Structure 1
Amino acid sequence: MRTYSLGSVFKGLFWLLLACALAGLLVGQLAWALVGGLSLYLAWHLRQMARLQQWLSNHQNDPPPDTRGVWGDIFDSIYHIQRRDSRMRAKQQLVIDRIQASTAALSDAVVMVDAKGRLEWWNHAAERLLGLRAPDDSGQHVTNLLRDPRFVEYFEANTFREPLDIASHLNPNAHLQYTITHYGQGERLLVVRDTTRLHNLEQMRKDFVANVSHELRTPLTVIVGYLETLQDSEEPVNPRWKRALQQMQQQARRMQNLLNDLLMLARLENDNGLIEQNPVDVSQMLQSVTQDARALSAERYHQIRLEAEPGVCLRGAHEELRSAFSNLVFNAVKYTPDGGEICVRCWRDDGGAHVSVSDNGAGIAAQHISRLTERFYRVDSSRSTNTGGTGLGLAIVKHVLLRHNGRLDISSTVGQGSIFTCHFQPNRLA
């Protein structure tokens, strides 16, 4: 393909004017000959522009009109650009079709939601799991179709750090896990997985633990009662049995604490309903917890300091929040060396309400931090045995915070101490 430059255009115009001038001199009409030549030149270009407009409007998929000069170069260049663009669009459409086909074949529901929360696209599994109907539901707000209050609260929170597990609104015996991811310009991708089988297995485990704990509670109470009766008896006890009775009572008490924590954890896990929305004065609660911690410290002489911003109130369950804060503070007392410093802080800001418990104890190695909230996980089993810990305290804290839409952050440095911080969202402030 020959390429015509701007110089070629001017060169052609020069030779046209020269020929017209020579013809005008021969006939004695130089001016009219130049005007006629320029008019023909302009008319030819206007004709080519009209052909270009007609081709682009009606026949752009056909080969371009045959012409010469710079207009032939223009026609050929536009045609090649269109062909290249068409091939690229075909490749992109092929990729899009393959993505949509593979997504439609997933057993998990996939729903695309725009920046305003309206449904844009979903696969076949979404129709089965969520009851969406095409095209009737297209453009509807997602919370108009999925009206479970827990999902509405989860969607409007717009944080999506953890997935949401709730019962299906179509089948109460089925359980779904909702995961939302941000993408693009504020759009959200909703992925829903059927977790009924996993939920049933987990429920069997929870029921087993709860039932065993409940059944062990009564015989253990009887054993503790008789041990206390034997120790408080007015009749003299054989010195050989006195130490044995003390150890038996100590271990029985430890088993009672373990059963109480197991029952507490089972109640938190099995209670899937909406929690209480009573205002809880966190600042006042922490004062009471700190006093209990000083009594627990007793002769270990910990320096326990409270820095609580007055008037910090949360909407939630009083006993659950007290249990969470008590576990954090009492853990600090148990695992901080004698004479150590413990600081309990409470404040609020634009990010919500925050409660932190820091100490200058032995600290925790980085590889253990991610697993601290697992039930029965112990950094050092010997240390837990000496302090009488059950290994369930942080698991209880985690579940209480999850029920209150909060999260637990843990930072620790070996040899310097640890900081446990509870974060609550602004919508939890009373």
Structure 2
Amino acid sequence: MNQDWRGVVIRRLLLLIGACLLVGLITGHYAWALVVGLGAYLGWTLAQLLRLYTWLKQHKPDEPPPDGYGLWGEVFDSIYHLQRRDQRVRGRLQAVIDRVQESTAALKDAVVMLDSDGNLDWWNRAAETLLGLKTPQDSGQPVTNLIRHPRFKEYFEQGKYHEPLDLPSPVNDRLRLQFHITQYGNSEHLMLVRDVTRLYQLEQMRKDFVANVSHELRTPLTVIAGYLETLLDNVEDVNPRWTRALQQMSQQGMRMQNLLNDLLLLAKLEATDYPSDNQPVAVDLMLLQIKADALALSGNRHHRISLEADHNFKLRGSEPELRSAFSNLVFNAVKYTPDEGEIRIRWYGDDNGAHLSVQDSGIGIEAKHLPRLTERFYRVDSSRNSSTGGTGLGLAIVKHVLIRHRGRLDISSVLNHGSTFNCHFPATQVVRRP
């Protein structure tokens, strides 16, 4: 209550008391006149308060407050103005909400809002088409009850949404969807679902083309390599001028065979999401064999290769695939580390899972190349792969093997000071020895 109304109330009370005293003077009963006057004022005030209570309890949103007089009239008018202001604010907010809903309803991509527990709050029309959501019966349902693919449940519960997830549509297996989840506010989730069927089909066409071409080229290359090997075995019967040419042809044929083998291996890795031979693998014993092969590859370059492997941690997965990935990392370290350099291999586990670290004191890699190292045929220096006999697919194979085993690859490097390749596997893939 402001200062003016406080004065008005005081003046009105004084006026009421004066009137009661005047009545008391006329009747000769001052006390009874004050009691009756103040009692009547109190009764009127309680009646106005009761009217306000009744209106608050029973009124509709657009129903104005009751009429009043004096101070209570001002109270009711103030409530009325607040009510009108609130209606205007709600109208503006509703207009904004309507525009947002209209714009999202026009999207071809599905937009789904989830609360902090993963329950459905709101979705647009595209979500009903792509995901099969139904209004209103699905409202408040957990999203994992409606999208029941095991990979989606694992993806949602882990809470790591840096990369999107590609899955078939729950209502149509021929549709391929890409899920993007973003957390906002009080741990709520905004899920954007795109139809990437066309891109998926193009990617499948590319994979099929590479696999088919690689398979078809294998037979002629095998025949050519066989004849070249026969000629080199009987080199004394060949014109000496052809000896060097035959040797170079044999080397390049072997390089092409290695390239085709890597391409076929990549096609095989991409064909399924998870290895079929999912058995605990003794990584420490595998790394002992890889170390021995790395020492043989090093030969007279005299690299210092050390191995620290914890035998208490096994890794669930495919042994041939893991051997291919780990040997790729170790052999790369040997190839790109100068003579008498140091290579450290470490296999260990902790509460977050299991980890493989391959650290070398080699030539290192510039930071601008690190994000693209696992791309197919990406070369930091065009002369490096030709000099080492690489195909440019080694780290791509490593990346796909780790993805199939729910792992990830982290690369850190300093130019002229060496590189470190870390493979991280979640605890769900690790088997601890008792």
Q: Normalised by the size of structure 2, how large is the TM-score?
A: 0.90
Aligned to 2:360: 359
Name the CA distance, whole Å, in 2 between partners of 1:72 and 1:357: 82
Q: How does 1:181-192 map to 2 (within 5 A)?
A: 181-192=182-193
Deviates more, 1:141-150 or 1:304-313: 141-150
Deviations 1:1-32 (A, max 9, x none): 99744454344334433443454345432322
Q: CA deviation at 1:262?
A: 0.7
More displaced stretch, 243-252 vs 397-406? 243-252
Distance change (3 Å), C-alpha of 1:139 and 1:61: closer
- 3-state SS, counterpart of residue 372 of structure 2: coil
Distance 1:7 1:124 in 2: 60
Equivalents in 2 of 1:357, 1:83: separation in Å?
A: 70
In the superposition, relative to structure 1, how do residues 243 and 124 fare at CA in structure 2: closer, same or farther (>3 Å)? same
Tell me the distance in 2 between the aligned counterparts of 1:104 and 1:257.
Answer: 52
Q: Which residue of 2 aligns with 1:31?
A: 31
Q: Which amino acid aligns with 1:253?
A: M
Partner of 2:148 in structure 1?
A: 147
Give ranges in structure 2 of 5+ residues lacking alignment.
none
Give structure 1 stretches of 5+ with no counterpart: none
Written as runs of structure 1 = structure 2, the 5 A alignment for 1:6-405 is: 6-25=6-25, 27-56=27-56, 57-58=58-59, 61-233=62-234, 235=236, 239-272=240-273, 275-405=276-406
CA distance in 2, matches of 1:322, 1:14: 99
Scaled by the length of structure 1, the TM-score of the pair is 0.91
Q: Alpha-carbon deviations, 1:357-384, whole Å to 9, x = none?
A: 2222222222211111110111111112
Please tell me whether the aligned partners of residues 294 and 330 of structure 2 are also in contact (alpha carbons under 8 angstroms): yes
Q: Deviations over 1:82-104 (max 9, x none)?
A: 22222222222222222222222
| Deviating more after overlay: 285-294 vs 23-32 | 23-32
Instruction: Work out whether residues 235 and 243 of structure 2, in 8 Å CA contact, stay in contact via their aligned partners in 1.
Output: no
Q: Equivalents in 2 of 1:245, 1:2: separation in Å?
A: 106
CA-to-aligned-CA distance 1:132-176 (integer Å, 9 cap, x gap) = 333333343333333333333333333233222233344333322
Q: Assess if the C-alpha contact under 8 Å between 1:4 and 1:73 holds in 2.
A: no
8 Å Cα contact 1:354/1:424 also seen in 2: yes
Residue identity (%): 62
Question: Does the CA contact (< 8 Å) of 1:3 and 1:70 recur in 2?
Answer: no
- Change in 2 beyond 3 A, CA 1:75/1:154: same
Separation in 1, partners of 2:23, 2:47:
25
Instruction: Assess, with a 3 A threshold, how the Cα gap between structure 1 residues 46 and 342 changes in structure 2: closer, same or farther.
Output: same
Counterpart of 2:29 in structure 1: which amino acid?
Answer: Q
3-state DSSP class of the match of 2:138?
Answer: coil
RMSD: 2.6
**CA–CA separation in structure 2 for the residues paired with 1:125 and 1:179:** 15
Secondary structure of 1:215's aligned partner: helix
What code does the residue aligned with 2:366 have?
Answer: A
Which range moved further: 329-338 or 234-243?
Answer: 234-243
Mapped to 2, the partners of 1:233 and 1:4 lie a distance apart of 119
Q: Which amino acid aligns with 1:198?
A: L
Change (3 A) 1:305 1:51: same
In 2, are the aligned partners of 1:283 and 1:308 still within 8 Å (CA)?
A: yes
Task: Between 190-199 and 274-283, report the one with greater CA deviation.
Answer: 274-283
Q: Distance in 1 between matches of 2:2 and 2:235?
A: 120
Q: Is the 8 A contact 1:181 1:190 kept in 2?
A: yes
Provide the aligned length of Structure 1 versus Structure 2: 430
Secondary structure class of the residue paired with 2:102:
helix
**Is the contact between residue 328 and residue 394 of structure 2 (CA under 8 Å) also seen in structure 1?**
yes
Deviation per CA, 1:185-237: give whole Å up to 9, x if none.
34333332222211111111111111111111122222223333333337266
